[in-house]
Amino acid sequence: MPNSLAFRLFVSFAVWSLLVLPVTALVLVSGYRGQIEDGFNEDLNVYLTYLIGSTYPDKGVELKAPNLGEARFLLPLSGYYWQIKTLETPQPTIIQSESLVSETLKLPSELGVSPDLQLIRVAEIDGPDEQKLRVMEREVSYSDGDQQQSFSYAVALDKSGAEEAIYDFTATLILNLMILAAGLMLATFFQVRYGLWPLRDIGTRLSAIRSGEAERLEGVLPQEILPLQNELNALIQSNVHIVDRARTHVGNLAHALKTPLSVIINEAQASDSPFAEKVAEQADVMRQQIDHHLNRARIAARSGVIGSVAPVKPIVTALAGALERIYRDRKLEVAIECPVDLKFKGEKQDLEDIVGNLMDNAFKWAQSSVTLTVAQSPASGSEARLFTVVVSDDGPGLTEEQRANVIKRGRRYDETRPGSGLGLSIVADLAHLYQGKFVLEKAAAGGLKAIISLPSA
């Protein structure tokens, strides 16, 4: 569906979502991680400051184990650790929290980390029990008279809690953004369907015009589509005017030519000379040619009319009744099968010409029976819906070569029968102009079977 307007709108929103939502997730996760990191460092700084303030050395520059008021510094391997180490002495003294048990912390100064402006060093280390620790260290010097001693104060906290919080936040955020994306895409789908509904409505209304149920594109449409509605109505009206003018010109031409030809034929028939006979013969040929081409012009004009529809059964029933009265002396048996609700998508006069010519031909040649069957053809994909008219008789029929030639204009295989020989050629022209098919076959009863397919409404 790359050519679908709805598909394009939906895909453009999907692409926009795939670009914006991941960026949004990255920004939010980065911001949340920054807050967690800041809070974590703040906790380390508070504990370190409290540790330094709680272990001011007594006389003799000796330190006492502090009480930081946090029970987790007392629990073994709890992830909360502190450590004090003497510096600049041959045998360093280390005081540490009970939570370290027998372990010692690897200090940032030992890893070569440089202090910041506040003389604080921070590093990530592997701690006891495979814990990932962040250590904050600060070196402090004390003096008592001539005696001076430096100490390294360090506090370490397990990062797993902070990492789990970041992971949980990320997972929750991704889930919520996925739900949001699905909701937005669903809302976009319905929004596109609702927004493009007037265009689908236009398609339905145009179908109604083609089927003859409406003459104009009516209804209240959005302002953006009003120009399209106005132009389509103008086009439909222009088509009607063109067809009307064509019909008028065809009628005028018919009157302009037929009257002089009738005069020529009448004058020629008044004389018995060979010349007059030849003039009358050629004038009659001219009249047949004029009738043929005028009929084609009328057919072409009518086939271009938008919205013409004619019910089939009333037309075939009326024609059959009229022909039964004309040929009542023949006492022919006539069978008609036709759906009640079937409609021809075209001019009523065209259907009358088609069925009338086929049935008249069958009535002329039938020995005892004429059959007319009308049926809806099965739908085939996107092609137009068609119905089939089959007219058959039990007359002498035609050979295969005769069936191929009889639809040519003016061809008659029995000059004793009335007619101009244009009937089947008119049917063939109408079938072609309505994009249908017209074939002649041998009937089961031995006569001629005419089959024509036409568009149905």
Q: What sections of 99-196 are H helices per DSSP?
A: 160-195
By CB neighbour count within 10 A (0-12 exposed, 13-18 middle, 19+ buried), where does 247 fall? middle
Q: How many helices and strands in the chain, by DSSP H and E?
A: 9, 12
Cβ-proximal residues to 142 (8 Å cutoff; 6+ apart), any chain:
56, 57, 61, 148, 149, 150, 151
Residue 418, token pair as written in the block = 């009335």
Report the predicted TM-score, pTM, of the whole model to 2 decimal places.
0.51
Tell me which residue has tokens 């180490």: 85
Q: Could you tell me the maximum CA-CA distance found in the chain, to the nearest angstrom?
A: 163
pLDDT value, residue 419: 45
Tell me which residue has tokens 């031909």: 361
pLDDT value, residue 304: 52
pLDDT value, residue 415: 46
pLDDT value, residue 5: 79
Which secondary structure element, helix H or strand E, spans residue 237, and what is its range? helix 226-269
Please tell me the total number of residues recorded for the chain in this structure: 457
Q: What is the mean pLDDT of each run of 10 residues along the chain (457 residues)?
A: 76 87 92 92 91 70 69 90 85 85 89 90 90 92 75 92 91 93 88 81 78 75 82 83 75 75 79 80 77 66 65 94 90 92 87 92 91 86 80 89 73 46 75 88 90 90
pLDDT value, residue 157: 94
Cα angle at 376 between 374 and 381, to 5 degrees?
Answer: 150
Nearest-CA neighbor of 349 among 287, 420, 301? 301
161, 60 in Cβ contact below 8 A? no
* The CATH number of domain 310-455 is 3.30.565.10: yes
289, 437 in Cβ contact below 8 A? no
